[in-house]
Amino acid sequence: MMKWIRRHTIFISISSVGFIFFLTYLYYDYTIQGASIKGLLRHLKNVNFPFLPMHIMLFLSPVISTTIGYLFEKIFFYKRGLEQKVEEKTAFLKTSEENLRKLSEELEIKVLERTKQLQESLHYWKDTFDSMPYSIIIADRQYKILRINKSLSQFLGKAPGEIEGKKCQDIFKTPDNSCPIEKAMRTGNPASIEFFESSTNRHLWIQATPVKHGEIEALIISIVDITELKEKEYLLEKSKDAFLNMLRDMHESYNNLKELFVALISAFVHALDAKSQWTKGHSENVTKYAVMIAKEMGMDTTEIDNLKVAALIHDIGKIGTYDYLLDKSDMLTDEEFKLIQMHPSTAVDILNDIKQLKDILPIIKHHHERYDGTGYPEALKGDEIPIGARILCVADSFDAMTADRPYRQSLGMEYAKSELKRCSGTQFDPEIVDTFLRMIDH
């Protein structure tokens, strides 16, 4: 109750004035009429103009004062509410202004930092682009050259300004209907070509790679000078032919010269390993592991001898593989990996004319088949794969994992053993894995 009275003080104060006037008036008339109610009522009934309006006003004074009190109270609270809202809005605007100021300062700092990072990234990208050892072109969808790196500028003997803005086809004349740039743009996939460029008298390998963000936005074109590789390939072919001629001369007297033959095979393996420092000793290690497994499994002497020779020359097919692929320090492209996958079949092609080696050719050809049938070159599975090839697969994989490679360091003995266990039944024959792990654990 008191709370209501405090809240409505203005209303009560103003409305009570009317009631006071009204009661005072009645009391005054009451006393004038001899303190008689009947006299008072008779007096009020007989009031005439000009006193009638005054009496009406006095009678209505409670209603008028109550109405005025109600309106004043509403006006007061409305004004007070407006003032509070103005104060709250002012405080909110001040807080918002302060927050906006702080946010503006933070954004300014972030913009400056981001600008600095972008500038650093741009300088880093330019330095990296220009330091690439191979020639690179960035072209738009219309084959217009947007930028070249220093390697291409030096190769052509022209300043970037003389080349940028021209069409790619104006720089290198590829054979008709074989432009990798147009093919990449048409198919949306990388395309490459190897050809002899007459204006520079060089053998070149060109690959065009589309840059996509939904649709093709640009092309990255890399140009590699493979002249030295082609010359080495020519010399290698001559060496291979000479080697094959030597083997053909020897195979008729193979039975009488077995020890010499094995020695020559080993020497050739050393020459093959010398193609890359990373594979040095690999064939000997694989041979050691393969022979250990074969003996533990109770294979006969002839099978062990065949497996030994197969293990020694199982990578002979790599003689036809570019040196840079064997020494490459990063991941191979799909095309490069396909070239590597050809080495078992290439080995068979090299050795196919030597009839004394006919029993070891299946071992060499299928040493990259997988037990679950997902290997190459023929996707054989299970017992379809020669037992010698299954043994060679385990020995070859174990030595590869425990040796350093240009793209990684040795994975270690424990990791190699765990991988053999993990891939037992998928990549490897489970029986051979169990036999090999039992041997190296004792």
Give pTM, 2 decimals.
Answer: 0.42
> What letters, b where the CB count within 10 A reaches 16 and e where it falls short, cover 335-351?
eeeeebebbbebbbebb
Please state, in angstroms and rounded to a whole number, the distance separating the CA atoms of residues 168 and 154: 17
Give the pLDDT of residue 324.
45
Give the pLDDT of residue 290.
94
Query: In terms of C-beta distances under 8 Å and separation of at least 24 residues, what long-range contacts does 405-412 make, across chains too?
Result: 405/278, 406/276, 406/278, 406/326, 406/327, 406/328, 406/329, 407/328, 407/329, 407/330, 407/331
In contact, 363 and 380? CB cutoff 8 Å? no
pLDDT in tens, the chain (442 residues): 666 666 566 666 666 766 676 667 666 666 766 666 555 555 555 555 555 566 666 666 676 777 776 777 777 666 777 778 778 888 888 888 888 888 888 888 888 888 788 777 767 767 676 777 777 888 888 878 888 888 877 777 788 777 787 877 777 767 665 677 778 778 888 888 877 777 777 888 788 888 887 788 888 888 888 888 878 877 877 776 776 777 676 556 545 556 666 666 766 666 666 655 546 677 888 999 999 999 999 999 999 999 998 988 887 777 755 454 454 555 666 676 666 678 788 888 888 888 878 889 999 999 999 999 999 999 999 999 999 999 999 998 898 888 766 555 778 889 989 999 999 999 999 999 999 999 988 7
Instruction: List alpha helices for 132-173, DSSP H.
Output: 150-156, 160-163
Give the pLDDT of residue 362.
94
Please state, in angstroms and rounded to a whole number, the distance separating the CA atoms of residues 17 and 154: 107
Catalogue all structural domains in the chain, each as residue range(s) with its CATH number. 2-126 (no CATH), 135-225 (3.30.450.20), 228-440 (1.10.3210.10)
Please name which of 94, 230, 220 lies closest in space to residue 145, comparing C-alpha atoms. 220
User: Could you tell me which residues are beta bridge partners of residue 191?
Assistant: 208
Query: How many H-runs (helices) and E-runs (strands) does the chain carry?
Result: 18, 5
Please state, in angstroms and rounded to a whole number, the distance separating the CA atoms of residues 312 and 184: 42
Name the burial class of residue 368, with classes exposed (0-12), middle (13-18) and buried (19+) by CB atoms within 10 angstroms of its CB: buried
Residue 33 tokens, joined:
């009429």
Instruction: List alpha helices for 252-365, DSSP H.
Output: 258-273, 282-296, 301-312, 323-326, 334-341, 343-351, 361-365
Give the pLDDT of residue 251.
57
